[in-house]
């Protein structure tokens, strides 16, 4: 299966839904739009500098209430960055609405992100290093199978591509590591929530996904030898995937916009294709604390 499906679309609004694109993204593939650029004005391009990022933060974020965080600059700079990011959030929503109309009533927008740093030189721990193949799973934020749909756009003013590695199908990963994973403990989940480590109770799904995330990142042989493709997303292109399903690693690139949406698994066209659906099938029973992956 080709991990990337190219779509010849050049407008953010008015995209007609196509069952092939729906099936591809729900199977863990990346929808790639080589001609879909997020346009910046000259003044906005002038903002793009590593110095735009406030000290001690990784990315700039704009939440749904218009709260901007992570920008170093005066009030005029703050307004310009907020306007730029707000426009991207609107265009990303319009794109997703056209591509996946059944998702739209159920989508919950997470903060919009602007990433001005160079990925290839960023120093991080193994677990936090996004240059290693991974699926998104978060130790403090259990989601019980809720999907993580992301829209990315490369806005690099110098034309530098965003380089990813895209890995094997999620089911192959799960089959590889499931026999090695520690069993879920409901009492441990209650303790972690009680002492404030997690923001809500960790379900069995979250427990498995977090272990998959950590195991594959720590496995040096897997990172070298697992089936994977190198993909370059040029400046002026956009791509969409479920980042909890698509095995990915960001190897290099600078200046990217990203919009995350959360989606209940029951709102998918095919809930059985989700990581929750796959793990439920491989384990052979419903996962404790997680919904049954069926269409709502």
The pLDDT tens digits of the residues spanning 13-34 come to 988 899 999 999 999 999 999 9
* Residue 207: per-residue pLDDT: 98
- pLDDT surpassing 80 at residue 1: no
* Residue 226: per-residue pLDDT: 96
* Residue 3: per-residue pLDDT: 95
Q: Of the candidates 26, 97, 92, which has an alpha carbon nearest to the alpha carbon of residue 265?
A: 26
* Residue 124: per-residue pLDDT: 85
* Residue 22: per-residue pLDDT: 97
- In percent, the amount of the chain with pLDDT more than 70 equals 100
Residue 273's pLDDT band (cuts 50, 70, 90): very high
- pLDDT surpassing 90 at residue 123: no
**Average of pLDDT values for 178-204?**
97
CA–CA distance, 147 with 240 (Å, rounded to integer):
13
Q: How many Cβ atoms sit within 10 Å of the Cβ of residue 4?
A: 17
**Average of pLDDT values for 229-241?**
98
- Which helix (H) or strand (E) segment holds residue 6: the answer is strand 4-6
Name the average pLDDT for the chain. 96
CB 154 within 8 A of CB 164: no
CB 31 within 8 A of CB 5: yes
**Average of pLDDT values for 158-179?**
98
CA–CA distance, 218 with 222 (Å, rounded to integer):
9
- Higher-pLDDT residue of 128 and 259 is 259
**Average of pLDDT values for 266-294?**
97
Q: Of the candidates 47, 50, 52, 81, which has an alpha carbon nearest to the alpha carbon of residue 67?
A: 81
* Residue 88: per-residue pLDDT: 98
Structure token digits, residue 73:
């600059």
Residue 122's pLDDT band (cuts 50, 70, 90): confident
Q: Which of 53-57, 147-151, 246-250 has the lowest mean pLDDT?
A: 53-57
Q: Of the candidates 48, 53, 84, 49, which has an alpha carbon nearest to the alpha carbon of residue 66?
A: 84
32-78 pLDDT, tens digit per residue, is: 999 999 999 999 999 999 999 998 888 999 998 999 999 999 999 99
Q: Which domains does the chain have, with CATH numbers?
A: 4-134+143-177+228-268 (2.60.120)
* Residue 296: per-residue pLDDT: 77
């Amino acid at each position: 299966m080709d991990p990337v499906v190219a779509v010849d679309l050049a407008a953010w609004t008015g995209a007609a839904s196509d069952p092939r694109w729906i099936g591809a993204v729900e199977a863990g593939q990346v929808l790639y739009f080589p001609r879909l650029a997020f346009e910046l004005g000259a003044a906005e391009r002038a903002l793009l500098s590593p110095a735009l990022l406030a000290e001690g933060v990784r990315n700039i974020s704009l939440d749904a209430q218009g709260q901007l965080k992570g920008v170093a600059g005066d009030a005029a700079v703050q307004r310009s960055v907020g306007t730029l990011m707000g426009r991207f959030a609107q265009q990303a929503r319009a794109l997703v609405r056209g591509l996946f109309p059944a998702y739209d009533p159920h989508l919950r927008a997470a903060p919009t992100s602007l990433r001005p740093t160079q990925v290839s030189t960023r120093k991080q721990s193994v677990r936090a290093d996004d240059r290693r193949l991974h699926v998104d799973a978060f130790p403090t934020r259990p989601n019980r199978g809720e999907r993580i749909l992301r829209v990315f756009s490369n806005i690099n003013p110098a034309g530098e591509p965003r380089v990813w590695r895209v890995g094997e199908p999620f089911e192959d990963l799960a089959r590889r590591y499931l026999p090695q994973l520690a069993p879920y403990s409901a009492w441990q989940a209650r303790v972690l929530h009680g002492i404030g480590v997690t923001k809500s109770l960790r379900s069995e799904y979250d427990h498995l996904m977090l272990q998959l995330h950590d195991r594959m990142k720590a496995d040096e042989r897997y990172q070298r030898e697992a089936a994977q493709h190198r993909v370059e997303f040029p400046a002026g292109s956009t791509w969409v995937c479920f980042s909890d399903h698509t095995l990915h690693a960001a190897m290099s690139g600078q200046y990217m916009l990203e919009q995350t949406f959360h989606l209940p698994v029951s709102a998918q066209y095919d809930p059985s294709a989700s990581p929750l659906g796959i793990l439920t099938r491989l384990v052979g029973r419903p996962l404790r604390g997680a919904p049954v992956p069926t269409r709502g």
